[in-house]
Structure 1
């Protein structure tokens, strides 16, 4: 029992109502377009069939042949050159470079440069120890004395500079700073406020003037340009565009409809031509093959080919037997020559074994020990 809810079926979208212009244009346009499109579609289908035939019969085998020739001419020689010439040559050069360059450099580094570097390092450590002793025992006490003298001189100059700085700072404050502050507060600030107020008034006046001019230009442009352009668009261009759109849509739908109908017509014509070709050429050829060529081929096979094959097999068997006899004769002659030159080969001696070769059944009259065995 199906417990799932059935999926809702999509509702067909309501088609917009069509005008009389579309209905009046549709049938003539479709007739004219059908007459023009049918030859084009038939020609297109014929070209498609010819292209597929050429691709399967000519272009694809030709491409494979060209690909094989390209491999044989360009790829395989380079592969052989790389594999059998360049790679062994590079390996030989690498071995030669290792023997002539790397090994001498390693020996030079290990047995010459390393001991020399150790000697230089030992000498540098000795020189560094001497310089450290000179720094600690000679230069450091001298530096401490010089710094003590410089600190005394610096303290004297600091005391003198502090007094001079105080006098100069008092003079600068009362001769420059205080008069500048008074001039700024009592002269420059009121003058600046007055100038700023005047500038704000001038900017307001200019903005009002620009706003009035802009409003006037806006209404002039709206009355002289926008309203006429809107009327032309609404009452002339829009209806003409709708009519052109309807005509273009009908032409496009007519082209699609005519292309589909032309496809069916082209398919019917192709099937008719294929049937006609089959009844005119294929069926007679098939009848000739079945009625004439097949019995003739059977007769030729039974009367000529099979006896010839049996004769060839008999000749092959006789030839193989003759070759086998010749090989056996050569083998016997070689063995006779070896016995004549080197003598008979030594035969291996058969050693008697005390143990039975096969396991025998144990009885009352027999024993399995080596002392009582018969």
Structure 2
């Protein structure tokens, strides 16, 4: 206790750190230390069993047994599935093929199959030359004769003895009708058409042309001139005064009505914009006073100190637990306490430790003054 007080006094730690460190050390000695000791003993026991029992057992018992079982299984599989077929092929099927089937096949081919094939080939050539070829020629000639009798000669006789004479007669009759009937009738119709055009259509057309000219000269021209005069008078004495009056009315309305109304609308738009800007500034000011300033004060005067206190308490607890573990290791195994690798001091920007001894840590920053 005196040593802890001296260390606390040397490091400049406050009473809050001492009050938190003592319960944490007690909890570490009662809970963490037995669990850590049991865990280390279990790890050492497991390593010893693996090194002195499981390793030799695997090397000298399990692996030889597995190799022997694999060799026996390989021999059994070969004995059941490989050697019977290899022996049957080598000592039964191959000698039977070499000494029985192959010589018998050669003899059968040389003295039976080849002479029989040659005899059949001679018989086939003779039958083709003296039987099948004449028979095929007779069948082909009979078929050609039947086709000619059934499909060619009837149509040829019909064309030669029926259709050709009838066609010639019809052509002669058509020539006679054209020469002695159609030609005189056509000439008579042409003469009648020329006479009708000369003595009927031409006088009627001339009369219609004269009537059209007279109607245009004595009817359409005076009416068109009258309509043009009326249109000019209507434009001069009606449309022009009315248009001038409408233009004057439009100018008066633009000058004395639309311009003042537009100026009033522009002024109202600017006034509305100023009012909206003032309202927005007021809303911003109210939000800053009602929400922003209280939140900033709470963060500055409440949350920040609470966060500092929580951080200091966490650092104190962590440092106390590490020191308790180091003291227990030193008491059990002797020698200086060794911190975990992750807690060793490291150089800036590097992952290598400065030394094997842990760097002194202070849970709280040194307070001055």
Q: State the TM-score, normalized to the length of structure 2.
A: 0.40
* TM-score, normalised via structure 1 length: 0.39
Question: Bigger relative contact order, structure 1 or 2, given CA contacts below 8 A and separation 6+?
Answer: 1
- Structure exhibiting the larger radius of gyration computed from Cα positions: 2
